[in-house]
Homo-oligomer: A and B are copies of this chain.
Amino acid sequence: MENSSTEFDFVDNGGVTSPLGFRACGITAGLKRSGKPDFALVASDSDCSAAGTFTSNLFPAAPVRLCRERIAAGLPVRAVVAHSGVANACTGEQGYRDACLTAKEAAKCLEVPETAVLVTSTGRIGVQLPMEKVILPGVRKAVAALARDGGSAASEAIMTTDTRPKQVAVRFRVNGKTVTIGGMTKGAGMISPRMLVCRPHATMLCYLTTDAAVSKEDLAAFLTDGVDVSFNRISVDNDMSTNDTCLLLANGASGVAIHAGTPEGEAFLAALTMVMQHLAKAMVLDGEGASKFITVEVRGAATTDDAEKCARAIADSMLCKTAWFGNDPNWGRVLAAAGYSGATFSPENVSLDYDEMPVVRGGMDAGTPEPKLCEVVKRRSFRVLIDLGEGVRSAIRWTSDLTHDYVTINADYHT
């Protein structure tokens, strides 16, 4: 994915306001009982083309419906409202009206068309928004707080069970001019996105900004490619949220036009992929209760579908995830998960490695002493590599372990 002739730099403390022409903020509107920041706004000084991917849950939150409609309409976008604490899902027509009202208030304050504002949300399902007391005053407060360096504050205001903000920005040069792509994400539970390719998932919200000028068609293509090798690779639990949203806004403020299918387009996609992979990995590392980052790689599959099924079964297996938490090399659980994944292969051709250690050869114990395997699974980050010995297809998934903290966080979330 790296572009051979282009250099990419991570921006120090970069985020959604690293690209030119974007402002953001994070404020306390009053949705969270904790009193922590719960309301973010990202705005562009000029019109943006926009692309988005969304949950395919049959109960999409009201803001998801709003974003889908407005992005499909293809009109310019100027701002995105993000609030945490209340999901505005399973709230019926009132929920949808409230999402529209939120956008309308922001549009009025920003002096932009109503259709130019998108809304996203995360939090408790089934609760109506406190519009008059919290949301509308929050919108006005947020618009007043917008700042050129507000990206970090925004990344904190979108957190729910996240333990830390997750943001990044990457820049590269095109014909002497600098293009920057920034992003922030939240999401720690209900994480199992299968966006675009299959079905989107998880309360993960991701906001991407760039100062390149990109048509909405090319933007959608770049976003699809990026999601495929980033957020679609991660699992924290196996639950798909009602609110998943990933948005990409391009305002052209850098003066650089990017077209798909050109060398500049390739560089753009490479940078976007760096941003999205960084955010996706950060999301797994900050997964609810996670103490470890595990890369599950499947090779030698007969088909890509087989590779994906096998990687997903291992990455989602509660028994594998608890074993990893327990520093237990228990490779039988990995093989068992591969065996029920639906992938086609011959057991006697299967190899398994944990980082540099051979674990299974020919479907049986490779003979590496257990203490050596324990050393690997004790690591904060390691790779589980299974070769099915059937073909040349492969797949990668990033996952975490299943810990007591996961149970504590999710059993106590309502309090």
On A, residues with C-beta under 8 Å from B are 56-59, 87, 89-92, 124-127, 189-190, 199, 201, 237-242, 316-319, 322-323, 325-326, 328-333, 335-340, 343-345, 347-348, 360, 362-365, 402-404, 406-408, 410-414
Query: With A319-B237, A363-B92, A413-B328 given, is the CB distance from A125 to B407 under 8 Å?
Result: no
Contact B403 A332 (CB under 8 A): no
Name which residue of chain B comes closest to A363, CB basis.
Answer: B90
A179 to chain B, nearest CB (A): 36
* Contact pick for A411, options B92, B201, B322, CB 8 Å: B322
Contact B125 A326 (CB under 8 A): no
Contact A90 B411 (CB under 8 A): no
| Residues on B with beta carbons closer than 8 Å to the beta carbon of A238 | 238, 316-318
A246 to chain B, nearest CB (A): 17
| Residues on B with beta carbons closer than 8 Å to the beta carbon of A413 | 323, 326, 328, 330
Q: Complex formed: what's the CA distance from A319 to B199 in Å?
A: 19
| Residues on B with beta carbons closer than 8 Å to the beta carbon of A125 | 330-333, 335-336
Number of copies: 2
| Residues on B with beta carbons closer than 8 Å to the beta carbon of A344 | 58
Query: With A59-B347, A90-B364, A348-B92 given, is the CB distance from A337 to B239 under 8 Å?
Result: yes
Contact A241 B336 (CB under 8 A): yes
A48 to chain B, nearest CB (A): 30
* Contact pick for A340, options B240, B323, B402, B404, CB 8 Å: B240
Query: With A87-B332, A322-B406, A332-B125 given, is the CB distance from A58 to B338 under 8 Å?
Result: yes
| Residues on B with beta carbons closer than 8 Å to the beta carbon of A59 | 335-336, 338-339, 347, 363
Which 4 residue pairs across A and B have the least CB separation, nearest first?
A125-B332, A326-B411, A240-B340, A322-B410
| Residues on B with beta carbons closer than 8 Å to the beta carbon of A317 | 238-239
| Residues on B with beta carbons closer than 8 Å to the beta carbon of A330 | 125, 413-414
Contact A332 B89 (CB under 8 A): yes
